[in-house]
Amino acid sequence: MSAEELMKERLERIETVLKGKEPDRVPVTGATTVWHGRYAGYTAKEVLFDYEKSKDAALKVARDFDFDTFTPIIGLEGMIYTVAFLNQPEISSAARFILGPTHLVLQDVYSRWPGYELDENAHPQFIGKEIMKVDEYDQLIENPLEFINKVVMPRINKKLADVGSAEYNAALTKYGLELARFGAFMAELSMEMAKIGYPTIPMSWAYAPLDLIGDFLRDIKNIVLDLFRVPEKVKDAVEAVKPLIIKAAEISAPPVEVRKQLFGTDVVECFYPLHLNEYLNPKLYSEFYWPSLNDIFHKVAEMGQVNFVLFEGKHDAHLETLLEAPKKKVVGVFEKTDPRKVREVLGDHVILVSGPPNSLLIGGTPQKVEEYMKSLLEDCKEGGMMIWPGVDGGISRDAKPENVKAMVDAVKKYGKY
Amino acid sequence: MADVREEFVNALADLDEAKTIELTKRRVEAGEDPFAILEDVRKATDIIGKRFEEGRYFVSDLIMAGEILKQIMDIVKPLIGEKDGEKKGKVVIGTVEGDVHDIGKNIVIALLEAEGFEVVDLGVDQPPEAFVNAIKEHNPDVVGLSGLLTEAIESMKKTVEAIKEAGLRDRVKIIIGGGRTDEEAKEYVGADDWADDAAVGVRKIKALMGVE
């Protein structure tokens, strides 16, 4: 099959699932932070800081494995930057992830990187930090955009600490250059991928409001304690940041004409990783987490986008709430919730994404992987689903290539309709 | 006195922070034996663990519990001084090399200490040698290898191998802990058990020691 035909076939397969229907077979969408580098013989540091090497490694993986899409996610969570730059759509959208090079330029206090704070083969890590004190909730609530720009940004970024200094001005300028360089890399990668028959699905960015406050302002432990100690403040803060996230989703999506012209499709996946969902008991979840998240799900669906949501950890206790979400407008990647249970509780209300856990790709054998995939596909593929190997952050650095290959082969064998 | 003790256990088990701390202070001021307070802390911690396993409590509740426990210990520990009472057992715990996450590990430590175990916390991003040296120095019953990343699994395996090479594997039980650990990872690493949440981790550590 020619690259063009392959591209058409793969794109159609994914579009069909995203529209809530069954395609010819279940699509398998690969994503990783450093596994492509390991496979191509590069260190983690090399694929995170040298875009040429990351591109080379991603293309090698795409050629050697028959995925339907393959995406290197070479950044860490950075939604606070997207929100901070909300009034400049082109910067806002590009600023979604903390990248190795932008970490060096701004020296953010959240993240640790291979070759710098960590060994050159370590996975980069978002650690977070208490940026906003508990007595500053009122300032956030009163004017969140101003508070994030004036107070939060200088605290997050060591190089922006002294507002207006020579160092500050230089750092911001360099940051802009790095974002442009990253944008060029992504565009080029997308073009090179197309040449070998791999589509790229357009994306936009959203976040659960409570996660934005937990991940970037208060840190995980403090946000949980706040729910017990200052619940009303947290509730008001959630409502205050919600419109900013809705706006982020709106401006980060490429316009329909651009989607069709550049990506050959009208669909757009609005991406959210959920973090506090697993932490919260059902009472806290339904009081502080779910209502605002559900509002955003509906708004994003009204914008003509599909919510693409990583339900990290176990979402079992909260599954039923998803019946309130817009039907077939939420694609759910479930990390540790049994996909059979998702089907049982939600039917086809949510578009199911599942896959083998990384522990199996690391420690298992091709035969074990095949058995796992056979059972998963036979039990769950009815009504349409997608496979996302390594259901947390994508394929782990230490996943064995033969296991990944066995996974793709099993999708072709057992994923047909 | 029995009433205050019961009230205290209930307040802590229900995660009523203000009431628990107030009762702690009241009991200390009344000159109560600090070991009686610690005994009640153990009782309440046990209830919290059970509620977690029954699906009534979640990680959010364990975080709150850890915070209350820390405040109680800050009040009670100075009263005990060096005569620390009898420890139920010793655990060496740390986040393995290449991983710098510690929320889960810290909850486990808070729960273990509240239950009367001695815990040696090695910190995060600890190479295999650090665990080997800690086993030689502290002679623990159980070694806990913590990590959030899937890449931590490989580091856990290397750590277990280093413990074997040092001839120490038979002297300790090893448990791996973290959100991405499972049976498959346990087998691959060569550990004795695994836990993907803190309350289960504490129960399994106790089981590995043969402690109720």
The reply to whether A89 touches chain B by the CB within 8 Å rule is: no
Query: Residue B196 CB: number of other CB atoms within 10 A?
Result: 18
- pLDDT tens, residue order, chain A (417 aa): 899 999 999 999 999 999 999 999 999 999 999 999 999 999 999 999 999 999 999 999 999 999 999 999 999 999 999 999 999 998 999 999 999 999 999 999 999 999 999 999 999 999 999 999 999 999 999 999 999 999 999 999 999 999 999 999 999 999 999 999 999 999 999 999 999 999 999 999 999 999 999 999 999 999 999 999 999 999 999 999 999 999 999 999 999 999 999 899 999 999 999 999 999 999 999 999 999 999 999 999 999 999 999 999 999 999 999 999 999 999 999 999 999 999 999 999 999 999 999 999 999 999 999 999 999 999 999 999 999 999 878 999 999 999 999 999 999 999 999
Nearest residue of chain A to residue B52 (CA atoms): A281
CA distances from B31 to A238, B12, B17 (A): 45, 20, 22
* Between residues B80 and B99, the one the model is more confident about: B99
User: Which runs of consecutive H residues, i.e. helices, occur in B54-102?
Assistant: 59-80
Please state which CATH number belongs to domain B90-209: 3.40.50.280
The verdict on A225 touching B (C-beta cutoff 8 Å) is yes
Q: How far is CA A315 from the centre of its chain?
A: 17
Domain A3-414 sits in CATH 3.40.30.10: no
Rounded to the nearest angstrom, the gap between the alpha carbon of residue A15 and the centroid of all alpha carbons in its chain is 18
- Classify B2-80 by CATH class: mainly alpha
Tell me if domain B2-80 and domain B90-209 are identical in fold. Answer: no
Residue with tokens 């010793």: B90
The yes-or-no verdict on residue B1 having pLDDT over 70 is: no
Return phi, psi of residue A407, to 5°. -65, -45
Q: Give strand pairing partners of A271.
A: A205, A308
Given an 8 Å threshold on Cβ–Cβ distance, is B67 in contact with A279?
no
Burial of B135 (0-12, 13-18, 19+ CB in 10 A): buried
User: Closest Cα partner for A274 from A321, A240, A233?
Assistant: A321
Q: How confident is the model at residue B77 (pLDDT cuts 50, 70, 90)?
A: confident
Task: Please answer yes or no on whether B59 and A392 come within 8 Å at the CB atom.
Answer: no
Position B176 scores a pLDDT of: 98
Contacting A residues, span 329-348, partner chain B, CB-CB under 8 Å: 336
Q: Tokens 């565009």 appear where?
A: A187
The answer, yes or no, to whether residue B209 has pLDDT greater than 90, is yes
**Per-domain boundaries in chain A:** 3-414
Interhelix angle for B2-13 vs B34-53, to 10°? 40
CA–CA separation, A333 and A344 (whole Å): 16
The beta-carbon neighbor of B153 closest among A276, A284, A359 is A359
Query: What pLDDT does B86 receive?
Result: 74
Residue B83 binned pLDDT confidence (cut-offs 50, 70, 90): low
Contact at 8 Å (CB) between A401 and A39?
A: yes
Q: How confident is the model at residue B84 (pLDDT cuts 50, 70, 90)?
A: low
pLDDT classification of B30: cutoffs 50, 70, 90:
very high
Per-residue pLDDT at B211? 85
Size of chain B in residues: 212
> Tens digit of pLDDT for each residue in B146-155?
999 999 999 9
Contacts of B188 in chain A (CB under 8 A): 359, 362-363
Nearest to A392 among B15, B150, B187 (CB): B150
Using the Cβ of A274 and the Cβ atoms of chain B, whether some distance falls under 8 Å is answered with no
Residues in chain B with CB shorter than 8 Å from the CB of A121 are: 98
Residue B212 reports pLDDT greater than 80: no
CA distance A229 to A284: 12
Q: By CA distance, what is A364's nearest residue in B?
A: B184
Mean of per-residue pLDDT scores for chain B: 94
Asked if A328 has any chain B CB less than 8 Å from its own CB, the reply is no
CA dihedral A336, A312, B145, A357 (to 10 degrees): 40
**pTM for the model:** 0.95
| pLDDT value for A288 | 98
> Chain B residues within 8 A (CB-CB) of chain A?
15, 17, 55-61, 63-64, 67, 97-101, 103, 125, 149-151, 153-154, 179-182, 184-185, 187-189, 196
- Does B179 sit within 8 Å of A279, measured CB to CB? no
> Nearest-CA neighbor of A122 among A186, A76, A81, A182?
A76
Residue linked to tokens 């107030």: B22
- pLDDT digit string, tens, across residues B115-138: 889 999 999 999 999 999 999 999
pLDDT score of A53: 98
Q: Which helix (H) or strand (E) holds A333?
A: strand A330-334
Percent of residues, chain B, with pLDDT higher than 70: 96
